[in-house]
Amino acid sequence: MDKDFGPREGEQTVDLPAQTDAGLYFIGRIHTPWKERKDCPKNARESEVVCTLAVDEKWAPGLKDLATCSHIIVLYWMDKSPRNLVLQVPRHYGEPRGTFALRSPARPNPIAISVVKLLKIDGSTLSVIGLDCLDGTPMLDIKPYFASVDSVPDAIVGWHKRNKS
Amino acid sequence: MDKDFGPREGEQTVDLPAQTDAGLYFIGRIHTPWKERKDCPKNARESEVVCTLAVDEKWAPGLKDLATCSHIIVLYWMDKSPRNLVLQVPRHYGEPRGTFALRSPARPNPIAISVVKLLKIDGSTLSVIGLDCLDGTPMLDIKPYFASVDSVPDAIVGWHKRNKS
């Protein structure tokens, strides 16, 4: 477990189940300039850095037609995160929040999702803008972003809004 | 494997890896009115049906603060889908598409994501609008939807746009 993630005051953990219920295949790796957690951008939208998604050859035929998408959803596995936190205290907020109300990588299933801008696809390598994860992060899935179902411009996260005001 | 999903002409499969790389915990179940695939709505946005997310008691403390969100992202596991298709022919399009250019449940890691409207939270049960999955589908994660990073109203899926015109 990453030492950056030890339980802090106000945090609550649970005992993890003895067994997992399903298994994942890593379909490739994400390459970014960030080698340590402290180097990662706070918010992916703050960064214009071009990152690359290296899809394993086995899965590369699945990329057909994807280049016609302006934006894609990337699912990846935050393999350095603890999975037993139900309440956690994000450093920049200072009070306990429920895990499911946060986008923290620490969660029962540390699957992160990012909406990124697709620049180009070269063989099995995609160039994208909008990631903030560590170099070498395992990739789980790539999906087309459909504004018709995925975009909700007026959505509100109440606790976050209050926190900022 | 669901009989609805057998490979069709033009589809391409790969040999799955011998082992999985990581494990998932099911954190609860999704309850919907749909018991068979043919009954599910074609598009979640077409349905105003209220569905429920039943989070296991173990994880319920993680729901703190979530009720302040107007919209949430639900990740769930399409456990009836084949995982070895790289090219597939969606019934309503009739030509082979790359798996990663589709939102089909058939993919190496059959994780579905849906953006849903959160109506209320009652203990560990959430009432939401915007799902189209089968009753009893295992749930993997719940995240707050942040318009600032998740909403891209002008995103385009080129192949889909051409297909409709």
Select the more confidently predicted residue: A151 or B6.
A151
User: What is the distance in angstroms between the Cα of B3 and the nearest Cα belonging to chain A?
Assistant: 21
Mean pLDDT, range B152-161, rounded to an integer: 93
Select the more confidently predicted residue: A121 or B3.
A121
Q: How confident is the model at residue A85 (pLDDT cuts 50, 70, 90)?
A: very high
Q: How confident is the model at residue B23 (pLDDT cuts 50, 70, 90)?
A: very high
Return the closest-CA partner of residue B31 out of B114, B123, B128, B112: B128
Q: In chain A, which residues have their Cβ closer than 8 Å to the Cβ of B71?
A: 152, 155-156
Instruction: Say if residue A139's pLDDT is above 90.
Output: yes
CA angle A106, A109, A114 (to 5 degrees): 75
Q: How confident is the model at residue A141 (pLDDT cuts 50, 70, 90)?
A: very high
List the single best residue of A53, A140, A152 to mutate versus B (max B Cβ within 10 A): A152
A153 vs B: CB within 8 A: yes
B147 vs A: CB within 8 A: yes
pLDDT in tens, B54-70: 999 999 999 999 999 99
List the single best residue of B19, B116, B157 to mutate versus A (max A Cβ within 10 A): B157
> pLDDT exceeding 90 applies to what percent of chain B?
78
The first and second tokens of residue A100, run together, are: 């499911």
Q: How confident is the model at residue A5 (pLDDT cuts 50, 70, 90)?
A: low
Contact A24 B21 (CB under 8 A): yes
Return the closest-CA partner of residue A48 out of A129, A133, A127, A132: A129
Predicted local confidence at residue A130, as pLDDT: 94
Work out the mean pLDDT of chain A and round it to a whole number.
92
Q: In chain A, which residues have their Cβ closer than 8 Å to the Cβ of B62?
A: 86-87, 98-101, 107-108
Contact of B143 with B67, CB cutoff 8 Å = no
> pLDDT exceeding 90 applies to what percent of chain A?
77
Select the more confidently predicted residue: A109 or B10.
A109
pLDDT in tens, A48-66: 899 999 999 999 999 999 9
Predicted local confidence at residue A9, as pLDDT: 85
Instruction: Say if residue A113's pLDDT is above 90.
Output: yes
Contact B100 A143 (CB under 8 A): yes
User: What is the distance in angstroms between the Cα of A75 and the nearest Cα belonging to chain B?
Assistant: 9
List the single best residue of B152, B163, B165 to mutate versus A (max A Cβ within 10 A): B152
Contact B155 A155 (CB under 8 A): no
Instruction: Say if residue B137's pLDDT is above 80.
Output: yes
Question: Got the DSSP string for A90-119?
Answer: -TTT-S-EEGGGS--S-SSS-EEEEEEEEE
pLDDT in tens, B68-113: 999 999 999 998 899 999 999 988 778 899 999 999 999 999 999 9
Q: In chain B, which residues have their Cβ closer than 8 Å to the Cβ of A45?
A: 148-149
Mean pLDDT, range B127-156, rounded to an integer: 96
Q: In chain B, which residues have their Cβ closer than 8 Å to the Cβ of A155?
A: 69-71, 145-147, 150-151
Helices (H), chain A: 147-150, 158-164
Predicted local confidence at residue B1, as pLDDT: 46
Q: In chain B, which residues have their Cβ closer than 8 Å to the Cβ of A148?
A: 43, 45
Contact of A32 with A131, CB cutoff 8 Å = yes
Instruction: Say if residue A165's pLDDT is above 50.
Output: no
Mean pLDDT, range A94-104, rounded to an integer: 94
Contact of B154 with A147, CB cutoff 8 Å = yes
Mean pLDDT, range A141-150, rounded to an integer: 97
Instruction: Say if residue B165's pLDDT is above 50.
Output: no
Instruction: Say if residue A1's pLDDT is above 50.
Output: no
SS3 readout for B100-122: HHCCCCCCCCCEEEEEEEEEEEE
Return the closest-CA partner of residue B96 out of A72, A70, A64: A64
